Structure 1
């Protein structure tokens, strides 16, 4: 038996599966979030640990398995977050998260210091955006020098959990590639990027964890971790990775030609590649995958936070999203929403705010406004898909996250893309990906040579009731609405 843990922004999930992907137990625990008007979004790493313990114990109880039945555990973690520890291993301050935009000025300063976006692209193959880990380090150096001076260990959220589980300080290529101080082509740390933040860059370089391959074993559970989780010290811990990397594995996105769209608090679209996919504009993140290749990815910072907030605004529950889509036509009667409630990462508008355009006395209804919110979120994802695939249409798209639960939203994505939409069974793609990676790493540690694609084929199942085919009659209306969205985006923000 194997366990996958997914530490997200809003909560932690755990999944117990057997080697064929059969789910034996599920668990979940919610997170609290520190939010400030400055754009700060933070969490204390201790809540990740507490939530992981609760979620794993819940999953084990449902599975009704003995502690020694679990062979290996893998962790998926929200990307880009910064957890900093002192030389005694104590957390210095709450972790700044992927959605933190307080660091926007620091990111601008970092990008300029190396010579601008072109220089970053040429030297590292990646251009840091607000939200990447490097901007958070720069923030601490500039605004919290006392805390910065205490840094002895620099960890991402999933790295921190692996450290708590095993006592080791390690990082995996996929998650590390979203830091901004990692060369995605060489799969190596880039100390020259850290020298921008601190002339004594050797100190920061020494604070970086050891890099390990995605099929590696970090170690065994410590006695403290094993007791807390209800497991044994014989349980191994796999490398794990970032949530998008684990979500890719959990949807079988481990070979060329597969596309995944994730509609959670943020939205992402990504597609596996055997070779680096480098974008000089910086809009496509050329991340490494956690399955041995690369994972070109576009992320938008606003998705289900917009739709759930909109439903709440109208005094309705989340089911109103589907009701509104069923009751309205593509284009929302001419209303366009630029849904940048948390600023935006793609396009790179960290200080932007949401904008509604095209309101009239005729179209201003709760249903049209709700549709405009959903369309605005989805148009951002569609623009990302175009950046990754160009004019080559997707034939099949895996859809995951909270948005995938809505039948009308799935239909909207199918109609916009012209692709068949498929949804994996369950809604724990990150957990499943982490568990599949754990099966892979466990097998490699025992001399087995099974390919991760074969494991994913065996473990990833589809919910046949949620498969959605496009209605070609609606595509032209969505094309028109998307064109209006892009024109209004250019009008308000100068983005083409």
Structure 2
């Protein structure tokens, strides 16, 4: 086997770390590994993680992936890291982590976000200045929150990193970030691809935050090679090149071949995301659309909902159902769940912008209050949130000829049909459901190729669609869902009033 072809893709998500081994010559994934993370959470919206967990999970998952692939770590030529966006990792001058990482789904800094949004001149001011509207999940409000609630920690900040930046730092010893993940900080201008230093000086006039920023590098650039002690610990080739990496959505785009207009990637994970590729920074006037940079040289108009399989998982736990039993019950209920609606805002919500919202079940009667209807209502309610987001993208000129579906929910044939019908668009899954890890490995191969292979050539070879999952909209279902979706829109409108 030609050792030049083996690459490691790492995806550090909310629920766990996934690692895969890719042969970029054949386009085959040879091995997969996974290890879980746990959340530190509280009723006030706190969602944090201990970064030490990420390092242990990365080591476990790497060992599993190499063992399953049956290859030596010494054969790995490059490594790409995908990480959950927006998370805040603070290091002191010795490179030590100062406190648990505040995550994308954390809404504890909502008051601080409001303060910063007011300073920016509201949504219109934020759009004009940054190219997007800052939301509570973004990194910037977490910095102000830290200053207010943990001044001692704030005083020791020497490096501000995102989750994938932190893992790159651990692997190589270098602090840097790339444009895609930087887009989600809220102190980065997505049009000019530069930090907004004045915004950081507004938070801290002494310039500490400005000095703590990582260096910005292009998506195709390497961060460096592995630190010798890390190479020994992981059993990897010390000459392996670590690519720039990126946010999970940016690398999920590469891992689904979403690097040209016309393709929509939709992720049914613990959160829901919908995104497309744009060669130009078309900044949307809709506050809910994030016009992030991509990790493939363009832009990635995106919407994110905070509630998806975390909601269906909560309903499963409530009824003590396995996955198959849940899907079977949901499939027994009719479209619209006999009038039962579940507004799935268990985590607050980003799209639509309802950070303080709570979940609710509506339309219950003595006859329709069944487990089947509640299971179906959970699936429909979360999918309607994605439809709301897709409508926003379409309204902003995004083309959607086909939806490439990834994430845990995409494994359900019932959910695939539901997405096709609600979006009125053909759906297909990629063969490799760990799209962000695959995208990270492909990006590493692109980085090592140094211009010998284009990203498009690598995606063509390594991203494979699963024909058996091809799902077309059913005309009758499309009409029935439209009624249920309108009911959802009215219920959400009542909340926002």
The answer to whether TM tops 0.5 is yes
Q: What's the CA shift for 1:394?
A: 2.8
2:37 to 31, 42, 58: 31
2:10 matches 1:5 = yes
Asked if the contact 1:396/1:421 (under 8 Å) is kept, the reply is yes
- What is the CA–CA distance in structure 2 between the aligned matches of 1:243 and 1:103, rounded to whole Å? 22
1:121 to 127, 130, 133: 127
2:456 matches 1:450 = no
Asked if the contact 2:430/2:466 (under 8 Å) is kept, the reply is yes
2:399 matches 1:396 = no
2:477 matches 1:474 = yes
Aligned to 2:468: 465
What is the TM-score normalised by the length of structure 2?
0.97
Asked if the contact 1:114/1:196 (under 8 Å) is kept, the reply is no
2:227 to 222, 228, 237: 222
2:371 to 350, 353, 366: 366
Asked if the contact 1:246/1:290 (under 8 Å) is kept, the reply is yes
Asked if the contact 2:263/2:399 (under 8 Å) is kept, the reply is no
Q: Which moved more, 1:317-326 or 1:343-352?
A: 317-326
Q: What's the CA shift for 1:356?
A: 1.2
- What is the CA–CA distance in structure 1 between the aligned matches of 2:367 and 2:457, rounded to whole Å? 54
1:147 to 144, 153, 156: 153
Q: Give the superposed CA RMSD.
A: 1.2
- What is the CA–CA distance in structure 2 between the aligned matches of 1:98 and 1:123, rounded to whole Å? 22
2:262 to 243, 252, 257: 257
1:71 to 71, 74, 77: 77
Runs of 4+ in 1 over 4 A off after TM superposition: none
2:308 matches 1:303 = yes
Asked if the contact 2:75/2:237 (under 8 Å) is kept, the reply is no
Q: What's the CA shift for 1:109?
A: 0.8
- What is the CA–CA distance in structure 1 between the aligned matches of 2:331 and 2:414, rounded to whole Å? 7
- What is the CA–CA distance in structure 2 between the aligned matches of 1:217 and 1:65, rounded to whole Å? 24
2:331 matches 1:320 = no
Secondary structure of the residue that 1:466 maps to in structure 2?
Answer: strand
Asked if the contact 1:74/1:438 (under 8 Å) is kept, the reply is yes
- What is the CA–CA distance in structure 1 between the aligned matches of 2:468 and 2:265, rounded to whole Å? 18
Structure 1 unaligned regions, length at least 5: none
Aligned to 1:485: 488
Residue 2 to residue 392, structure 1, CA distance change in 2 (3 Å): closer
Q: What's the CA shift for 1:392?
A: 7.2
Residue 42 to residue 70, structure 1, CA distance change in 2 (3 Å): same
Q: What's the CA shift for 1:123?
A: 1.2
Q: What's the CA shift for 1:467?
A: 1.4
Residues 241-283 of structure 1, C-alpha deviation per residue, up to 9 Å, x if partnerless? 0000011110000011110100101000000000112123321
Q: Which moved more, 1:159-168 or 1:186-195?
A: 186-195
Aligned to 2:199: 193
Asked if the contact 1:173/1:211 (under 8 Å) is kept, the reply is yes
Asked if the contact 2:420/2:427 (under 8 Å) is kept, the reply is yes
Secondary structure of the residue that 1:195 maps to in structure 2?
Answer: helix
Equivalent residue pairs, number:
490
2:22 to 17, 26, 30: 17
Q: What's the CA shift for 1:190?
A: 0.9
- What is the CA–CA distance in structure 1 between the aligned matches of 2:269 and 2:398, rounded to whole Å? 25
1:289 to 294, 299, 315: 294
Q: Which moved more, 1:62-71 or 1:380-389?
A: 62-71
Aligned to 1:347: 352
Secondary structure of the residue that 2:465 maps to in structure 1?
Answer: coil
Q: What's the CA shift for 1:373?
A: 0.9
